[in-house]
Structure 1
Amino acid sequence: MRARSTWQRFSSETKNAVESALFSDGMPQETLALYSRWWQLETYLRSLCYVELRSNHGINWATHIGEGATRRRQADESRDYMASADWEDPLSYLDVGKLFPLIENNWDLVGPSLMNREALLARVPELLAIRHRLGHLRRPHSDDLSRLEQTLRDLEKGAFTAYSTYNSDWDASRDVEDPVVAAWVREEHPTAQRLIDHARRQYDVPFQLSYSVRPYAARPKPGEPITGHPGAIWKATFYTLTRDVQTATLWRDSYLSRNVRELVIHMLVNTGRISFTFPAVDDGLRISDAIGEAFDAVLLCSRPSREVSERSLYETPMRSIHLDPRIQTASGWNIVDDSAVPISIFGA
């Protein structure tokens, strides 16, 4: 069975809107292409800043992006009846004109996952001019698309580094004096004692604790604790090969505690497993509790697997506009690792 094309998978409302804009209202097709490429560029830059700021500063990361984004977000709360899934993300409220200074000011964190600093910063005026044309509905310059695609090609190597290191995991030695290791490797946490064996036997859901290190940081030396190490990220993985877990239900319907939501970087959703990532720089006892709370939530929200349809085996899921940005499904943050070579991140 052949997979449906992307166009075939669009809803009728989406198809109608695109066709109306292109053929009835005179929208240049280059504008649609340009917006798609800009979306790739800007969402990558914002998500990269998010991961690196979170991994370095932990729970207080948002204080490092400026007050303007916070004020905009607070103002948006007064219109909660029309809030989007991004409303809890302060970076989504940061003006694009301040995004590039944020990148420059944090180059030591984000630089390894970008391109040559001077080359990128030299392009900023041109990139902003393209963004302004899009924002003010001006027709594009004939070279705008090629300029954006060249920038995306130049970012390929850095993006692969960002994504693959996020998914390059190590197991923590059980002998390390670390509160998270003690809790979930040596199983000293009450929830670990209650759930690890029970989940494997009764639910067929094995658990794994691992960690990764961001490109800007050095890996902890043998014997050193991971907790408290800037740039290190804890990953709690629950293997659900024989269980169905509804992602939106798990996230929305009060299954996850406030502690998990405050600490988590991402909830990574892959076929047969769900992972929660946490900045190791945050409090180890809180992280240990959050892993236990996530463990309970996954089990409570899971059901025995139903038969997988033939169609789903051939199709990559399309991201829903209703999913919180911390939920990563079919994105570089949860599917790209060292084994993915050769791969084009942006397809530009």
Structure 2
Amino acid sequence: MTNGVQATEPAGEVRPESIGDVPVRVVNTYSRLWQFETWLRAMVYVELRAKLGDSWADDLKKKPGHQQADASLTHMPTAESSALSYSQLPALLELIETHWDCFETYFPPRDLWHAKLREVKQIRNRVAHFRAGHADDYARILQFLRDLDKSFWRYCTSYNNGQPFLPQRINPVAKRFLPLDPLPFVEFEKKRWAQIGTRNKELPVGMTVHYQQRPWANVTTLKAGQPGLLYDIRLFAQDGRGLDYRRFLDRTRALHPHLVHVLLDSFSSEVRVTIPSVLGTKAIVALIEKCHEAAVNSIVRAAFSDKEAVIALASQWPEYVLGPENPLAFLSPDMPCSFFGV
């Protein structure tokens, strides 16, 4: 046990099998479809949370059948709780159509996007109904992922491109929590800012309040209430101490429906939370205050690096808790790569 994190493999962990009468090409095709749909759901979740806040899943909640059916199997529970995880692909694509303004920056022109999806849905249908399909189905899926690779890279890296509010007084939330920043930005020349001075180590938990603008957003002001703007909050233990992640997650459980993500680092010393700006200043301040209080009450004597243990803990929580291995937790604009590995 380290900082409230148990280093164990998820129950029921299995290794890949080689089954003679199952075509490898079909299995590979299914794996790539899984990869695409999983990340498509992640994209829809973030962009709709940024646009609609707590109302992001209202349309999906009107069709809760699959989630209720899964929850009824109490002997085999899963961690998933997002309405998107239980939505069929048509419902997901309908959301994208309804909020095309959030996604047109990522995808090809609408007519071309629809044409590509027709092929993907046909291949998906073949795999789902145990047909061997066309010899080129796998190649078509790989090409489809290549076409979208830069878009998903942009989606992910924009999530790790938080910027400080400068000057801090332009935003009431940043101004409110400035005393908790142990090394705040200062203006050393006109319109030139840097972190200068001595870190305030008297703060047991430091905090930075940054923002990220989603690629589709037309943000005209950095005040709370703007669709497409997320507050990006980092809470970090100071002076070599760590955070008991399990305790922090338990203490903030009631806040989770209002947060986009809770992101855990591999050193068990920092928690990052993202919050939709559309919730408004009063609600955002209250959420941050409670997160900070939970972090202060989750301090442990020393940080302990156990990446696998943190990953295991995150896997026990719903989709909004991300471990350090998730690209949304680390992939930044200065890290060029093939997102899908194609």
Class of the TM-score when normalised by the shorter of the 2 chains: 0.7 to 0.9
Residue 132 of structure 1 aligns with an amino acid whose one-letter code is N
1:89 matched to which residue of 2? Answer: 82
2:248 matched to which residue of 1? Answer: 250
CA offset digits 1:243-302 (Å, max 9, x no partner): 444545533xx31141x2121000122345320000001132121111121122223334
Given the alignment of the two structures, is residue 274 of structure 1 paired with residue 267 of structure 2, yes or no?
no
CA offset digits 1:159-185 (Å, max 9, x no partner): 12211222211212322253x234323
- Equivalent residues in 2 for 1:1-348 (5 A)? 14-15=14-15, 18-19=16-17, 22-23=18-19, 26-65=21-60, 67-68=62-63, 70-86=64-80, 88-172=81-165, 173-176=167-170, 178=172, 180-185=173-178, 200-201=201-202, 203=204, 205-220=205-220, 224-240=221-237, 242-251=240-249, 254-258=250-254, 260-272=255-267, 273-305=270-302, 308=305, 321-329=315-323, 330-340=325-335, 342-348=336-342
Structure 2: how far apart are the matches of 1:111 and 1:270?
32
**Size of the alignment, in residue pairs?**
310
2:195 matched to which residue of 1? Answer: none
Residue 71 of structure 2 aligns with an amino acid whose one-letter code is E
> Relative to structure 1, is the Cα distance of residues 78 and 13 closer, same or farther in structure 2, using a 3 angstrom cutoff?
closer
Residue 291 of structure 1 aligns with an amino acid whose one-letter code is I
CA offset digits 1:171-212 (Å, max 9, x no partner): 12322253x23432367xxxxxxxxxxx94263x32111001
Q: Secondary structure at the match of 1:84?
A: coil
Following superposition, the deviation at residue 29 of structure 1 comes to: 1.9
Structure 1: how far apart are the matches of 2:241 and 2:27?
40
Larger RCO of the pair (alpha carbons < 8 Å, separation 6+)? 2
* TM-score, scaled to structure 2: 0.80
Residue 23 of structure 1 aligns with an amino acid whose one-letter code is I
> Relative to structure 1, is the Cα distance of residues 319 and 30 closer, same or farther in structure 2, using a 3 angstrom cutoff?
farther
> Relative to structure 1, is the Cα distance of residues 268 and 308 closer, same or farther in structure 2, using a 3 angstrom cutoff?
closer
CA offset digits 1:55-110 (Å, max 9, x no partner): 00111111144622x34324443334433111x20111111122222222221112
The answer to whether the 8 Å contact 1:245/1:303 transfers is yes
Structure 2: how far apart are the matches of 1:247 and 1:136?
42
Following superposition, the deviation at residue 240 of structure 1 comes to: 4.1
Structure 2: how far apart are the matches of 1:262 and 1:37?
30
> Relative to structure 1, is the Cα distance of residues 28 and 214 closer, same or farther in structure 2, using a 3 angstrom cutoff?
same
Structure 2: how far apart are the matches of 1:210 and 1:290?
15
The answer to whether the 8 Å contact 1:97/1:128 transfers is no
Higher helix share: 1
Q: Secondary structure at the match of 2:73?
A: helix
Following superposition, the deviation at residue 217 of structure 1 comes to: 0.6
The answer to whether the 8 Å contact 2:243/2:295 transfers is yes
Gaps of 5+ in 2: 1-8, 181-199
Structure 2: how far apart are the matches of 1:183 and 1:202?
16
> Relative to structure 1, is the Cα distance of residues 287 and 74 closer, same or farther in structure 2, using a 3 angstrom cutoff?
farther
Residue 347 of structure 1 aligns with an amino acid whose one-letter code is G
Following superposition, the deviation at residue 231 of structure 1 comes to: 0.3
Q: Secondary structure at the match of 1:230?
A: coil
The answer to whether the 8 Å contact 2:50/2:228 transfers is yes
1:190 matched to which residue of 2? Answer: none
Residue 231 of structure 1 aligns with an amino acid whose one-letter code is G
> Relative to structure 1, is the Cα distance of residues 72 and 184 closer, same or farther in structure 2, using a 3 angstrom cutoff?
same
Structure 2: how far apart are the matches of 1:138 and 1:201?
64
